[in-house]
Chains A and B, each alone.
Chain A
């Protein structure tokens, strides 16, 4: 710290935030009419990084040339969003993670989309059930799902072969065998990890480990936490032991902080990871950056040998106080419809073909769109690992489960994430950490009502 003009008090940090809330906002201030065919739309949390985004945005522009579109590019920022809602000048439509929609719905920061869905005839039943579940709160629609992320096991074939294993035969339902294989794949020298055998993706994939052990973190109605369920404790304990046996969390985290996941020097091609649980988008990205990588993509199986998939993704929501809810609703419909998705997929396929790279497909939350994309657009690329990966990812899509939506979704998530982190850091054992998380979660759920 220094003496620069930071001699403000703690209050000022908050007060400054409140002042920001009072004058902030990213919405279109000069709105001329409420909804209807008014001529402006402001988005938040969405960017235009590639043709998947631009093709769909172009489709909207073509269908609605009268709308003055302002895309505030960048990731969703909770603080900016809430400040804009509190100031009464929110964006018209927001792109954010589906898992915390409950928190915003319960607090009235976003509005129900029941009207929008009815008026625009958005076919919600076309979406995967797990995605539908995430955008529903208190029996009302609060969002329309966009992408659909699936969790798969990504194997670095070189590491598997060195461990004397056929990558295709790896089976995550055998926890003892998995632990032994992780150790075999692991390489540590001079206190430094050279290759991490198996990255179980704690703390963020705790729900998946619990599910694999037959437990859910939260009751289906989102009202009762089950974080102290012995099966959750056992799952966390196991996944944490995997980390311990391979050099420990503190080393692994420092190691993973150096990874360039989405570049051509990603941890698989750099042989820094033996195998890992990951969202499928790492695989689709690798198809672009490392088309010749030797990988195998497998479903993650529970202890009974059934594939399980902790599904997720983003959704479009309309904030409370949005000036152009009708235009926002049209936008949402366009961005998530099967036709637009298919057009975007065609653009991506053409680009990848031109570059001589594989295109494993675009995995949307709209099952109808996926049907069209994978029957009409995605063709075998000749890059066998990616063609096989596409099949595996498609096969696990309907095995998706989510943590049920809750009015305390954000606090609930924090409770279990923090518990897993305390365990990994060796500050608490799994039982104590999850007992504490259970208390925190229960308090938050009660407070949210």
Chain B
């Protein structure tokens, strides 16, 4: 029994390394989470005491057309952003993986640099770049005779514009995939080459399976962060009161709406309910992804019990 509690040394060490985060979670997140769960059952405007309304906020959400709109906008963005981000970051990582020698460090830094830009700055920057009348993006398209769309003002093009902007910050995804690529054993590639496999076959049958756990990780994390998209969109389209209304709700993402309800209209109870529904949505998506992912992902780990066998 004692042995089971203490677990394997690796597990114990894992917990030790996780400890700072766990302490932070309990101290700074668990409390507010419980508070927001309670608040989601109330009508609370920050100033007067909360009034209990049961599941009223959740019922109101079902009737609120803006919730549906926000979910649709967020889903549209996520479905476009996540696969695009994974594919482009993988392509960048593959290119980085081919660079050797001194240049390697330079390129890795350069590829990561855009991720150092604060989100707010990125939002403002892209508002200029994507401007339909004077922006550089349309000027570039103009070189090829393409009359670019009104990225920032045409409701049909606002979200594609945001997806375009989101591809600016691929540094972290690229670095994770690059690290995974570095871990693919060269022997496997050599063996495949000896067996006559071409570049594409090696990529498909050796590289992708070997980095599948990293790919899976970035897909899950990118999905979660896409569903929570806030900073850049808020800066671009909701940064000040006049902007808020001039652009309409083509860019009304879920967390933006949550924020508006909480801090603009002082509907803290409703905002808390929105937050909990978002949490459930993310939970369901992640569970599905994990279930589906388990079929395809290759984990490079010792088989369970191997340590015990060795120690006997």
**How many residues of chain B are within 8 Å of chain A by beta carbon?**
70
| CB of A118 within 8 Å of the partner chain | no
Distance of A78 Cα from B155 Cα, bound (Å):
27
Structural contact, B263 and A78, CB atoms closer than 8 A: yes
Contact A14 B115 (CB under 8 A): no
Is B147 at the interface (CB under 8 A from chain A)? yes
Query: Could you tell me the distance between the alpha carbons of A422 and B248 in the complex, rounded to whole angstroms?
Result: 7
Main secondary structure of the interface of A (DSSP, over half): helix
B250 at the interface (CB under 8 A from A): yes
Q: B22-55, CB under 8 A of A: which get 1 and which 0?
A: 0000001100110110010000011110000000
Nearest chain B CB to A78 CB, angstrom units: 6
Q: Does the CB pair A3–B279 fall under 8 Å? A: no
Chain A positions within 8 Å of B147 at CB level = 191
Q: Does the CB pair A410–B47 fall under 8 Å?
A: no
10 contacts between A and B (CB under 8 A): A10-B275, A11-B279, A12-B29, A79-B264, A82-B266, A85-B46, A257-B152, A257-B153, A410-B264, A422-B248
Beta-carbon contacts under 8 Å, A195-214 to B: 203-204
B100 within 8 A of A: no
Which of A3, A4, A83, A427 counts the most chain B CB atoms within 10 A?
Answer: A3
Known: A1-B229, A3-B225, A17-B263. A10 touches B169 (CB 8 A): no
Of all chain B residues, the one with the shortest Cβ separation from A420 is B245
Interface pair B153/A254, CB less than 8 Å apart: yes
B229-286 with Cβ < 8 A to chain A: 229-230, 240, 242, 244-250, 254-255, 258-259, 262-266, 268, 271-272, 274-276, 278-279, 282
Please name all residues of chain B whose beta carbon is closer than 8 Å to the beta carbon of A204 when the two chains form the complex.
242, 245
Greatest chain A CB density within 10 A among B152, B255, B266 is at B266
A17 CB contacts on chain B under 8 angstroms? 259, 262-263
B residues near A (Cβ < 8 Å) are 28-29, 32-33, 35-36, 39, 45-48, 81, 85, 115, 127, 131-135, 147, 150, 152-155, 166, 169-173, 176, 218, 221-222, 224-230, 240, 242, 244-250, 254-255, 258-259, 262-266, 268, 271-272, 274-276, 278-279, 282
A380 interfacial contact with B, CB 8 Å = no
Categorize the interface residue count of chain A.
Answer: 35 or more
Task: Tell me the bound Cα distance from A34 to B127 in angstroms.
Answer: 47
Q: Which residues of B contact A427 (CB under 8 A)?
A: 155, 248
Neighbouring A residues of B229 by C-beta, 8 Å: 1
Give bound CA distance, A427 to B154, whole Å: 11
Contacts of B271 in A (CB 8 A): 14
Select A109's contact among B47, B169, B242, beta carbons within 8 Å. Answer: B47
Contact A13–B279 (Cβ < 8 Å): no
A326-361: CB near B (< 8 Å → 1, else 0) gives 000000000000000000000000000000000000
Knowing A9-B228, A13-B230, A254-B133 are in contact, say whether A82-B173 is a contact too (CB < 8 A): no
A204-B245, A414-B245 known; A251-B150 Cβ under 8 A: yes
Tell me the minimal C-beta distance from A242 to chain B in angstroms.
16
Task: Tell me whether A125 is interfacial, beta carbon within 8 Å.
Answer: no
Distance between Cα atoms of A12 and B152 in the complex (Å)? 29
CB distance from B172 to the nearest CB of A (A): 4
